[in-house]
Chain A
Amino acid sequence: MSTSLRNNEHVVLAAAAGCLLLAGTSLAFYWVPNAPVEGFRQRIFYFHVPIALTAYACFGWAAWKALRLLWTRERRYDLESYTAVHMGVIFGILTLVTGSIWARTSWGHWWVWGSRQLVLFLVLFLFYAAYFMLRYSVEPGPRRANMSAVYTLFGVALIPISFLAIRLAEDLVHPVVFTHDVQNRLTGSQLLTFLVCLAGMLALAGSLYANELTGKRLDARLRELREALQ
């Protein structure tokens, strides 16, 4: 329960995130050869997909913390789960933005309903934005912590169900015209770049998470002290 900002682990994590992202960006722009069909624009893949996977990791982490909260009834998990959802939503928005850019350069439209990942992230974005509404409209306390945890657990159930629904809906209304199909033919250099970028994004999310959590704990501690003084 450290609230100190001079925390060595945080600094190491942040430095690792910086180095890895720098390395990943240089690899993606200068080392990996152009993709055969998509050419130069395919390089956004090294940012878009790691960001999306990081968002999933954040939501999964939030659900794990939520489960721990319901299991042990320890209050600190509430803040941890909330912070993880917060990070997940930030990376989710970045996924929507990078996906939109990719759709624009590849297919000429900013939004493509045929792209499963984008549609899924839109649903998840709406779902987790409602999570913030829920938190802001309920009085702070153990009941709010429980509700937020239950809602977060619904989120991890919603991810696969929505994915399935979107696939079914594609067969129904939108024939599959566009497929990324990049993952199927990753070469060695592409895979290495992808992994470096993924590690960088995960480290970045972890670093932001640790910082945000420290800030929120400081906030809570300050409030407690103020109340004690009054």
Chain B
Amino acid sequence: MTYLGDVFALARKDLLLELRSRDTVPAMLLFVVSTLVVFHFALPSEASATAETGLLWVALLFTALLGLVRAFVAEREERVLDGLVLAPCDRSAIWLGKVIGVVAFLVAAEVVALPAYALFFRPVGWELVAAVALADLGLAAVGTLLAAMAAAGRARELLLPVLFLPLVIPIVVGGVGASATDDPGRYLAFLGLYDAVFAILSWASFEYVVTE
């Protein structure tokens, strides 16, 4: 099989598993909508646009975290990862397949979250959609690598947020900047730069995380 064939086979496996078990995505959808409702009550009624956008980004970040914590559960509990590492494919294909799966979950959550945000708070512009799309790539790229690391640790569910949040602070800066200022171009370019740097780093280093 070619490299891309491996990647798509792995991504297809994740999506099929989710379609059959429906473990993660419904929880992410419910979580993001309930978070938005909580934020409505946490914010004062005359809150500024920046505050509301900021809270949307916090909600998206924690939703992504929820999905990522689940990302390697099957691999860990059923010892799939050992099999995948033994399989005659490039190890980075495992990462890329997982990233495609995570991005699909995130997009599914945001298809609900953004209309909900538009309904509860304020209309959603093209900048916000573009920023969310770019942020998804970065969150999935970094998050998948860190989730694979955390899966090897003892306190996995605790370890992942601690590893993940400091690394994605730049995504929040870029996302809030792109959706709350008059000049979104700079912030979108920054998000693109972040995606490129960390996607390449994660792609190149995933092999070391799953092998000895």
B residues contacting A by CB (< 8 A) are 50, 145, 149, 152-155, 159, 162-163, 165-167, 169-170, 173-174, 176-177, 180-181, 186-187, 190, 193-194, 197-198, 201, 205, 208-209, 211-212
Q: Is the CB of A149 within 8 A of B208?
A: yes
Chain B residue nearest in CB terms to A160: B197
Q: Is the CB of B201 within 8 A of A172?
A: no
Which 8 residue pairs spanning A and B have beta carbons closest together?
A137-B153, A165-B170, A127-B166, A146-B208, A165-B173, A126-B166, A142-B212, A150-B205
**Shortest distance in angstroms between A152's beta carbon and chain B's nearest beta carbon?**
11
Q: Is the CB of A147 within 8 A of B201?
A: no
Among A137, A144, A162, contact of B169 (Cβ-Cβ < 8 Å)? A162
CA distance A14 to B212 in the complex (A): 37
- Chain A residues with CB below 8 A from B209, complex form: 143, 146-147, 150
| 15 pairs, CB–CB < 8 Å, chain A vs chain B | A126-B166, A127-B167, A130-B166, A137-B155, A143-B211, A147-B152, A150-B149, A150-B205, A150-B208, A157-B198, A158-B170, A164-B193, A165-B173, A168-B173, A169-B177
Q: Is the CB of A133 within 8 A of B169?
A: no
Q: Is the CB of A169 within 8 A of B173?
A: yes
CA distance A165 to B186 in the complex (A): 11
Q: Is the CB of A146 within 8 A of B163?
A: no
Given contacts A137-B154, A157-B198, A165 and B190 within 8 Å (CB-CB): yes
CA distance A157 to B176 in the complex (A): 21
Q: Is the CB of B187 within 8 A of A168?
A: yes
Q: Is the CB of A146 within 8 A of B212?
A: yes
Q: Is the CB of B163 within 8 A of A134?
A: yes
Could you give, for residues 127-165 of chain A, a 1 whenever the CB lies within 8 Å of some chain B CB and a 0 otherwise? 100100110011101111011011101100110011011
A residues contacting B by CB (< 8 A) are 70, 123, 126-127, 130, 133-134, 137-139, 141-144, 146-147, 149-151, 153-154, 157-158, 161-162, 164-166, 168-169, 172-173
CA distance A151 to B169 in the complex (A): 16
Q: Is the CB of B190 within 8 A of A164?
A: yes
Q: Is the CB of A133 within 8 A of B190?
A: no
Q: Is the CB of B208 within 8 A of A158?
A: no
- Chain B residues with CB below 8 A from A173, complex form: 50
Q: Is the CB of B166 within 8 A of A123?
A: yes
Q: Is the CB of A158 within 8 A of B167?
A: yes
CA distance A139 to B153 in the complex (A): 7
Q: Is the CB of B177 within 8 A of A172?
A: yes
CA distance A35 to B163 in the complex (A): 42
CA distance A86 to B190 in the complex (A): 30
Given contacts A127-B166, A130-B163, A161-B170, A153 and B153 within 8 Å (CB-CB): no
